[in-house]
A and B are shown apart, each in its own frame.
Chain A
Amino acid sequence: MRSDAGNPPLLTCRDVGKVWPTTGRPFVALDGIDLDVARNEFVVFLGPSGCGKSTLLYLIAGLERVSSGTIESGGSVVEGPGTDRGLIFQESSLFPWMTVGENVAFGLRLQGVAPARRREAAIALLRKVGMADAVDKRPDQLSGGMRQRAAMARALSLRPEVLLLDEPFAALDVQTRSKMQDFLIEVWRDSGASMLFVTHHIDEAVALADRVVVFTARPGRIKSIVPIDLPRPRDPRSPEARALADHLTDLLRDEVDRAFAEQERLR
């Protein structure tokens, strides 16, 4: 689905900038970000390390404040975290003092849902991610992939319209990662949410995205937006997928080179 499909976008970033108040001169992390995300669209952020991808995700999540511009979600300006936006972190984020089920139902507990109902809900949510039998396990008894699936179930518990994923599979091995990608596509279809997915992996971007947003090195700006018009399920070895991957590699290489050159000059 495209953002130009006629419907108003679910999420809009207008001229968004973020300046970190570091000691010395302020640090411009993001500058002039303009982005529309349609309902149920899958958008992947790709860019050199430190270009501000996580920062943009945190701004959209409402965990950080924009320095300039505005972010709107579902028609209202983002001023803090809200249950319309879920976030999945790179590292394991389950609380070790709760069982997997309690972790998944944490958002419901905050809303005052009774324990018995919470447990039912947790089992139903865990079933969606294929691990209903783990409801009474402790997080440290799960593998890395299962932890991220549980985190996904937790994020889905509040029925978000936007799911923000910050390199959620970065710590997983290649096989698990590819399984998790298939799985994420299912969750995406099933939930009807829009996905904003950060990754360093070009193959992952090609496998998942409707559109890939490529960022420039500091300050983070949008360098180009590459639509991935391939039917799903996708074959990463098809010539079309290869060509897109090469194109993204070129775009990214320029930025990585530029980032290096800049660091040399600053030295």
Chain B
Amino acid sequence: MKAVAAGTGTTPAWSGARASRLGVPPGVVRALWWVASIGCFAGMWEAVWALGWADPLLLPPPHIFLRNFADQAQFFVPSDVVGETTSASALESLGMTVVASSLRVIAGLSLGFVGSVAVGLLIRYFGLFGNLVLPTITLLAPISPIAWLPVAIFVFGIGNPPAIFMVFISLFFVMTLSTISQIDAVSRTYVNVGLIMGASRRQLFLQVIIPAILPSLFMVLRMNLFGAWMVVLVAEATGVGSGLGQIVMLARSTFNSSLSFFTMTLIGAIGFLFDVALRQVQSRVLFWVPASGVNRP
């Protein structure tokens, strides 16, 4: 999925990229390629603008939509539903908006991760519970998170809860089913080692099964990160009244394409930072997963 491919230059040995022969540290080389890649993209865009092929009102090039940082930031001053504005400066408001959206994603992802892993484990630990709950979860899983949006608003009204709920729901079913299939796929040998060494059922779950399934669950979490950003923007756009999603809607309704691209740039950068952060967490907590695999820095 996207989330995996979006990592920073995790170049597999079999790809076309070659190690530097000049003794430049690989980190520097990678950074240079990043600059080159983004530079080419922005350069082409600027060229299209310079040649007059693109209407700057519809497709403003980066130097235009990034130029008036302060101008852009003013749109982030929160005016809640009642129309009150706070006294925060434009830049502060921009920061607050970014933090608000980020916290919603973090809260939703954390609740979703813990909740779904817990439910998945309970389903496999208590047979009766599993028999009762699993069919319903299987049935609810294919429903697109977007379809839950009205429910989120009916139940939670406006503000943070519906946005967090949306992120939670976008992760919960996928992750619960994934937890169950990971439990079923735990190496028979590990389970047998646990049993032979005298583990009770509880000890088997806590000390063998959970550590065995955590690495792949973390991969699933990372793959759902961008999905979580998507639903939080949708939630914010429709009813929460603050956050990056609301700014996107504002840009649309005021026909402000500069603001739109500015916000997109922000969203892209934050999403990227989130992925980097998650990978850091992964390599700390799941230290035993080989570096050549999922979490090369």
Whether the pair B198, A95 counts as a contact (CB closer than 8 A) is no
Task: List A contacts of B208 (CB < 8 A).
Answer: 95
Identify which of A104-112, A122-130, A227-235 touches chain B. A104-112
Whether the pair A140, B290 counts as a contact (CB closer than 8 A) is yes
Task: List B contacts of A192 (CB < 8 A).
Answer: none
B193 adjacent to chain A (CB < 8 Å): yes
Number of B residues near A (Cβ < 8 Å) is 18
* Contact with B195, one of A81, A91, A97 (Cβ below 8 angstroms): A81
B181 adjacent to chain A (CB < 8 Å): no
B265 adjacent to chain A (CB < 8 Å): no
B207 adjacent to chain A (CB < 8 Å): yes
Q: Please give me the residue from chain B that is nearest to A155 by CB atom.
A: B196
Task: List B contacts of A81 (CB < 8 A).
Answer: 195-196, 198
Known interface pairs A110-B207, A138-B288, A140-B290; A93-B197 also in contact (CB < 8 Å): no
Task: List A contacts of B203 (CB < 8 A).
Answer: 110
Best-surrounded residue of A61, A82, A107, A140 (most CB of chain B within 10 A): A107
Task: List B contacts of A221 (CB < 8 A).
Answer: none
Task: List B contacts of A110 (CB < 8 A).
Answer: 197-200, 203, 207
Whether the pair B190, A95 counts as a contact (CB closer than 8 A) is yes
Known interface pairs A110-B203, A110-B207, A140-B290; A93-B193 also in contact (CB < 8 Å): yes
Whether the pair A97, B290 counts as a contact (CB closer than 8 A) is no
Task: List A contacts of B197 (CB < 8 A).
Answer: 83, 106-107, 110, 154, 158
Whether the pair B193, A158 counts as a contact (CB closer than 8 A) is no
In angstroms, how far is the closest chain A Cβ from the Cβ of B72? 47
Task: List B contacts of A188 (CB < 8 A).
Answer: none
Cα A155 to Cα B288 in complex, Å, equals: 23
A86 adjacent to chain B (CB < 8 Å): yes
Q: Please give me the residue from chain A that is nearest to B208 by CB atom.
A: A95
B254 adjacent to chain A (CB < 8 Å): no
Whether the pair B195, A96 counts as a contact (CB closer than 8 A) is no
Residue interface mask B151-189, A partner, CB < 8 A = 1 = 000000000000000000000000000000000000001
Whether the pair B195, A63 counts as a contact (CB closer than 8 A) is yes
Whether the pair B189, A89 counts as a contact (CB closer than 8 A) is yes
Whether the pair A96, B288 counts as a contact (CB closer than 8 A) is yes
Whether the pair B196, A87 counts as a contact (CB closer than 8 A) is yes
Task: List A contacts of B127 (CB < 8 A).
Answer: none
Whether the pair A87, B192 counts as a contact (CB closer than 8 A) is yes
Task: List B contacts of A82 (CB < 8 A).
Answer: 198
Residue interface mask B87-99, A partner, CB < 8 A = 1 = 0000000000000
Cα A260 to Cα B239 in complex, Å, equals: 72
In angstroms, how far is the closest chain A Cβ from the Cβ of B35? 35
Task: List B contacts of A91 (CB < 8 A).
Answer: 189
Q: Please give me the residue from chain B that is nearest to A164 by CB atom.
A: B196
Task: List B residues 240-260 near A (Cβ within 8 Å).
Answer: none
Task: List B contacts of A97 (CB < 8 A).
Answer: 211-212, 286, 288
- In the complex, 12 of the A-B residue pairs with CB atoms within 8 angstroms, ordered by the A residue number, are A81-B195, A85-B196, A89-B189, A89-B193, A91-B189, A93-B193, A95-B190, A95-B211, A95-B212, A97-B211, A109-B207, A155-B196
Given A107-B198, A110-B200, A154-B197, 14 extra CB contacts under 8 A: A62-B195, A63-B195, A81-B196, A83-B197, A85-B196, A86-B196, A87-B196, A93-B189, A93-B193, A95-B211, A97-B212, A106-B207, A110-B203, A140-B288
